[in-house]
Structure 1
């Protein structure tokens, strides 16, 4: 006999797999409490939802909102040229998609769902949609797919009025450990290339944002953007756990005066059930285009000594500049260290991540991908010492293999917790946003890695010698390696108990709000 659902919860993720995958895992966890959980997505993300997701539980549902992607380019008859679609309003194709998404959500709430959910869990980067749910009297819960550290540091720097800091000054944030003190160099960091864009429409109108929001720190002394994004929320859920960030979870709860629960890390179920064994990404995630199969990657790793391989990957959305990629290639060429280097299409370029656009692209984006950096000839020069993967890489497999001894990473949150869970120390090469704070958490608080820096000890353009020194420091640091292994033991018994309890407390809280 089918069990009856206790009530309904809606979940609204932001675009991009780094936000979608944690939201899907959250849905699974909430469904275990006998809640009907409905994941609301734009239609172009449907291909990213595996059939196993809805098969996981009869309480899990997916609602697709019809959203048209920016039009594909087409040949103009007789001209021999491509017809380039007109620019989207405000110069960003996400604007039109968000408008359509908002209208679809309104329609679903009014006529399509037939239920009034107990609450809606909204990714903070979808905060523009709060008003829609509030107008339908649906309580809003804000969901951070990153850890607690970035929001904590943004808030702490605001309260500590760091805008008047001088070169060389270090300022401790009240309520936080001294190792998380703000340095003057911390204030000058930020994304390379195009400036960050706000999550608020430039014309001052309400409604969906004209662009996507950079996750970097505010201008020194400025109120953190996320405070406005969670305004009106009844609670906060964060993709973290007590073993990693209890202190920072408590800090946010104290400052916001809201219930805050760590409910992660929200990684695939198999991750938590396979401690000590090699993971196979194809069992959990859709395979994408790659020049190596998982079996070929395993064969290469099997040929390398224990803990000798440095794994290098900057994720699918951001990375160093082309000049820095060239320096990295030179450093690897001159090194004796075995390495796996993952290079994404369009590496070295900046702009709206293609994953946000549902696969649609313009001529400019096609050109960017064609002109993205690739280390021509490096594979020949290094021979079997290096493995250069273009496109998709089986990251969980690589991190769980005994031959992998270090991870040169941008320190995106998902990559960070995947490495932590498998005991791999991290060399942080942060590019933008919360990555800088994640790096500080890794190196200064958890002490399971190092931050790569130039010869002056600052953030900025890196040269081959800086990179070589960073890799050598990480791979030879037994203390950091042992600390990383020790911390990973906290995850060997499965999904963190503190997060299981956090989910239970959240469900109890939200149920009480409905009565």
Structure 2
């Protein structure tokens, strides 16, 4: 291979859980190649990108596509029901960029590939017309994708209540129980059902036993990239590779450099993540944690887009109020109320949306210095890396899951939707670094105070789970996984020789 290779394009989806790993992947691609890496986003999301990205990584460029004229009619939630209009404007911006940069400039070779978030697969025809190879990027882990596929093959939709079904080709410990196939309803709609066209793309996985969407979305891809590593999910990466007959590469976990360079020490979020609105500063949280004994604090945080309902939040508040354990509870604005998918095309929230969601009024007064309730942004990397933190009550979103695994923090799993159920199964049944907050109907219908209180006590007292979590943490003692570095270099070499 001679000279500088062609540009690499990166096209992320717009949620923070997709943007953050895509930014980190840009850094990894840039550090492993001589190519320019171009991150393509709508302009209204520019504030979500670290201001020092290009300054610290000169070979990374940010392409912003203006969607400001996306003025479809609004629903009560402030969304445009014509989601396709936003896609069309984004697509037109991409086509215009490809024409102006690569067709009209003499001697400018086309990009070597586009790394495309799987949820942006609607745009793949644009790149296929220009003969630009596509690498589909899964911001989730490999286990959730592998188990979804295996459940489809095993026809998990027709399981009996007393049945356990082995997922052929996967470790025996992740065999499906009937309770594993149950999902909770969201926003008043049955599990797995989506109202097409009203709020945009269908977020999350289909119910167990249904055909995985990613089979079609990734069909034209030259390779599948996963936000994981062989050290953590090797058998699941191997399984997917056998099913799709194309390269399947673990290129993560895609967490900030400070996370990997601070193994064994406390990570400060301010060094890598922009602070947003909060009622506690990072220093205040750090000082509070410093005052607590080792492994005595349970950390509670759900995703910014999904979480328990208001009744369950009340149960959680009561459980924490009567618990003996110290805690940090992070609550996002709007928690506990049904929410449509995030505002991905720059729409403004409707003026009639007055519901601030659940907040445990009086809880901090009741518990005193035993607990703090953070409203909004929290320094999660700091909390998970602090020696006082002994457990994490989590929805098992993939980014939060790997952040905890990499710091040896046991997980009390409370999945809400999509891949979170499979991530919880990975943690509890395969890695054995956590337990479920509840099972069966309690998990899919109503998690109660007794479930939460017993779950917290069990997790915080379980020495074997803690030992296992610490052992797996040791897998990352050298920092970012070497297998993922090799995978990224392999991808770059294959597209540069295309």
Q: TM-score range by the shorter chain?
A: over 0.9
State the match for 2:87 in structure 1: 98
State the match for 2:180 in structure 1: 186
Inter-CA distance 173–283: structure 2 relative to 1 (3 Å threshold): same
State the match for 2:6 in structure 1: 7
State the match for 2:169 in structure 1: 175
Distance 2:95 2:134 in 1: 15
State the match for 1:397 in structure 2: 382
Structure 1 portions without partners, runs of 5+:
73-83, 203-208
Shift of 1:506: 1.2
| 1:354-373 to 2 correspondences below 5 Å | 354=342, 356-358=344-346, 360-364=348-352, 366-368=353-355, 370=356, 372-373=357-358
Given the alignment of the two structures, is residue 506 of structure 1 paired with residue 491 of structure 2, yes or no?
yes
**Does structure 2 retain, via aligned residues, the 8 Å contact 1:262–1:502?**
yes
State the match for 1:57 in structure 2: 57
Deviations 1:293-340 (A, max 9, x none): 011001111111110000000021110000000000000111111000
State the match for 1:425 in structure 2: 410
Note the aligned Cα RMSD (angstroms): 2.3
Given the alignment of the two structures, is residue 319 of structure 1 paired with residue 307 of structure 2, yes or no?
yes
Q: TM-score, normalised by structure 1?
A: 0.90
Given the alignment of the two structures, is residue 379 of structure 1 paired with residue 373 of structure 2, yes or no?
no
State the match for 1:68 in structure 2: 68
Given the alignment of the two structures, is residue 439 of structure 1 paired with residue 421 of structure 2, yes or no?
no
State the match for 2:445 in structure 1: 460
SS at match of 1:41: strand
Given the alignment of the two structures, is residue 328 of structure 1 paired with residue 316 of structure 2, yes or no?
yes
Shift of 1:111: 1.8
State the match for 1:286 in structure 2: 274
**Does structure 2 retain, via aligned residues, the 8 Å contact 1:454–1:460?**
no
**Does structure 1 retain, via aligned residues, the 8 Å contact 2:203–2:341?**
no
Shift of 1:57: 2.4
State the match for 1:18 in structure 2: 17
Distance 2:360 2:347 in 1: 26
**Does structure 1 retain, via aligned residues, the 8 Å contact 2:75–2:81?**
no
Structure 2 portions without partners, runs of 5+:
none
The equivalent position to 2:129 in structure 1, one of 116, 135, 140, is: 135
Shift of 1:89: 12
**Does structure 2 retain, via aligned residues, the 8 Å contact 1:70–1:361?**
no
**Does structure 2 retain, via aligned residues, the 8 Å contact 1:411–1:430?**
yes
SS at match of 2:7: strand
SS at match of 2:314: helix
Distance 1:20 1:280 in 2: 20
Distance 1:386 1:89 in 2: 35
**Does structure 2 retain, via aligned residues, the 8 Å contact 1:309–1:337?**
yes
State the match for 1:415 in structure 2: 400
Given the alignment of the two structures, is residue 346 of structure 1 paired with residue 331 of structure 2, yes or no?
no
SS at match of 1:54: helix
The equivalent position to 2:467 in structure 1, one of 477, 482, 495, is: 482
Inter-CA distance 191–24: structure 2 relative to 1 (3 Å threshold): farther
Inter-CA distance 422–129: structure 2 relative to 1 (3 Å threshold): same
State the match for 1:255 in structure 2: 243
Inter-CA distance 346–373: structure 2 relative to 1 (3 Å threshold): same
SS at match of 1:363: coil
State the match for 1:110 in structure 2: 99
Shift of 1:13: 0.1
Query: Alignment length, in residue pairs?
Result: 490
